[in-house]
């Protein structure tokens, strides 16, 4: 006869509950949502993603794999009312957005404490590195926090090095070199190429001090998770970095959709469908790799001289192109008219150029065989999407971490050719842009194109079963499960 103890089956322990806090900028939110979806697909953890009303629609594109917690966007006197994200935001307000968004700390703490005594308690926090305020929140809740970097490990180390060491330029000189002695090779960058978040720091200013505190808090996280892959940044992953206070860094990228999923709306509604754009690119099927795809990201707005130089170079070279210009790019008046006129008389190919006003299906475009080069600002999401697609890049960094990324691509990875290092301060001569475009289209950078193909193979290997990024992902899932197995004292 069975005893009462053997008759009863213990209820299984609920999966650990992880609170995911993205930063409200598309280049940050999208990869963290991709990561959350992947973590949920592995099983064994439950995830709740924090959003505000303006950013909540992005969660819908990731299905029902994760829960959502929508909170009102916090108000702050330094930040304009009615704005909830970095999209279209003046770069001068980026720091204020970081500080304003930290106002979610109190309501999130209340929400988590209401669940502290039941199976739905928060076991860990996974948050963007622009949400450093979640570190003291995690400490209040007695849980661990993992910092997510949507950037390169190299770029993440440079950013945190700045706010950790606070180096200064000499005599207000924008060309004054700023060194990074704790990184391999002790690289240096002119002051003007450093992120605006650091260059605009003012001692004692509420926003400036809040931004600095944000990054210093990250250095207390239990570990970092970076959207990169080992073969792209091997030298920065083989040993812990002093600039990240020797914290463990897991490289789990590239967090790009599979080829079969390139038509998804992971970035929100597009101005042109992937099917329509790919049908236009099909017109170049007899000339693979002949089209140049151009985009400067979702946040950067080209200055008129930069747009004019690129437009003139495209016309002079006659290189086929797709230019995703966003909604506010100041293109020369004559340019779009001539592109439209050429399309009206071109017959089957519908012209050699296409301008997309608004968000474009970039992943689908980069993976089309007609696209051979990518003119890019070197935002990290664009870098990874190009790397996964095997498309070599024409690097034209403008601000933020883009100069750091461009140097990594050009000087270390060998997968990019520079167009200009002058950023937003000065546009290159149109003849110089035309020279680089013509050389790329003419096959004079074949070694760079070959290296890009190798990177694509290495990226694909990283995310397959047994690959380095897949192994790091599985270890992250195990870490989150272990964090949730016992409440912390």
DSSP secondary structure, 204-272, as one string: T-HHHHHHHHHHHHHTTSSEEEES--TTTSGGGTSS--GGGTT-EEEE-------GGGTTS-TT---SS
- Say if CB 448 and CB 456 are below 8 A apart: no
DSSP 341-376: HHHHH-GGG--SEEEE-S---HHHHHTSTTEEEEEE
Q: Looking at 28, 76, 160, 306, which residue is catalytic? A: 28
**Ranges of H-type helices in 282-332:** 304-317
Give catalytic status of residue 128 as yes or no: yes
Catalytic choice (34, 128, 243, 401): 128
Phi-psi region of 246 (alpha: psi -120 to 50; beta: other; left: phi over 0): left
368: annotated active-site residue: no
3-state secondary structure of 199: helix
Is-contact 255 31, C-beta < 8 A?
A: yes
Other residues' Cβ atoms within 10 Å of the Cβ of residue 191: 18
From 265, 487, 453, select the one nearest 364 (Cα to Cα): 265
Question: Is 487 exposed, middle or buried (CB count within 10 Å of its CB: 0-12, 13-18, 19+)?
Answer: exposed
Closest among 396, 414, 400, 405 to 458, alpha carbons compared? 414
Distances (CA, A) of 262 to 55, 266, 393: 21, 9, 20
The Cα 381–Cα 31 span in angstroms is 8
Q: Which long-range contacts (CB under 8 A, 24 or more apart) does 70-75 make?
A: 71/104, 71/107, 71/108, 71/111, 73/100, 73/101, 74/100, 74/101, 74/102, 74/103, 74/104, 74/107, 75/100, 75/103
Distance CA 197, CA 145 (A): 24
Distances in Å between the alpha carbon of 361 and those of 10, 340, 358? 49, 20, 10
Q: Active-site residue numbers?
A: 28, 128
């Amino acid at each position: 006869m069975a005893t009462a103890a053997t008759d009863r089956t213990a209820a299984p322990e609920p999966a650990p509950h992880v609170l995911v806090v993205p930063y409200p900028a598309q280049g940050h939110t999208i990869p963290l949502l991709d990561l959350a979806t992947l973590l949920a697909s592995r099983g064994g953890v439950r995830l709740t993603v924090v959003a505000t009303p303006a950013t909540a629609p992005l969660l819908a594109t990731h299905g029902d794999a994760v829960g959502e917690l929508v909170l009102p966007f916090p108000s702050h006197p330094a930040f304009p009312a009615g704005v909830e994200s970095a999209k279209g935001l003046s770069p001068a307000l980026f720091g204020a957005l970081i500080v304003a968004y930290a106002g979610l700390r109190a309501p999130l703490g209340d929400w988590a404490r209401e669940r502290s005594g039941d199976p739905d308690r928060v076991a860990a926090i996974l948050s963007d590195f622009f949400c450093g305020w979640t570190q003291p929140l995690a400490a209040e809740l007695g849980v661990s926090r993992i910092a997510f970097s949507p950037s390169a490990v190299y770029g993440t180390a440079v950013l945190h090095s700045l706010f950790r060491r606070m180096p200064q330029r000499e005599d207000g000189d924008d060309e004054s070199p700023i060194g990074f002695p704790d990184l391999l090779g002790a690289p240096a960058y002119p002051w003007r190429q450093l992120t605006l978040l650091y260059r605009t720091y003012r001692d004692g200013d509420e926003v400036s001090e809040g931004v600095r505190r944000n990054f210093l808090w990250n250095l207390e996280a239990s570990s970092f998770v970076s959207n990169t892959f080992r073969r792209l940044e091997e030298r920065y992953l083989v040993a812990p970095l002093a600039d990240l206070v020797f914290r463990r860094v897991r490289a789990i990228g590239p967090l790009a959709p599979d080829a079969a999923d390139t038509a998804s709306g992971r970035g929100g509604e597009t101005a042109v469908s992937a099917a329509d754009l790919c049908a236009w690119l099909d017109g170049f099927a007899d000339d693979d790799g002949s089209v140049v795809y151009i985009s400067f990201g979702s946040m950067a707005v080209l200055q008129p001289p930069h747009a004019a130089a690129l437009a003139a170079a495209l016309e002079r070279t006659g290189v086929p192109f797709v230019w995703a210009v966003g909604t506010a790019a100041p293109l020369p008046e004559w340019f779009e008219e001539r592109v439209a006129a050429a399309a009206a008389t071109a017959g089957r190919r519908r012209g050699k150029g296409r301008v997309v006003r608004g968000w474009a299906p970039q992943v689908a475009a980069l993976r089309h065989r007609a696209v051979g080069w990518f003119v890019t600002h070197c935002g990290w999401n664009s870098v990874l999407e190009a790397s996964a697609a095997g498309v070599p890049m024409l690097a034209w960094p403008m601000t933020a971490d883009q100069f750091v990324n461009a140097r990594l691509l050009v000087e270390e990875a060998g997968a990019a050719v520079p167009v200009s290092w002058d950023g937003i301060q000065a546009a290159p001569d149109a003849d110089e842009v035309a020279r680089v475009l013509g050389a790329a289209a003419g096959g004079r950078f074949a070694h760079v194109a070959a290296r890009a193909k190798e990177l694509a193979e290495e990226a694909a290997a990283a995310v397959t079963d047994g690959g380095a990024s897949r192994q790091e992902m599985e270890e992250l899932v195990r870490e989150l499960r272990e964090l949730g197995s016992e409440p912390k004292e």
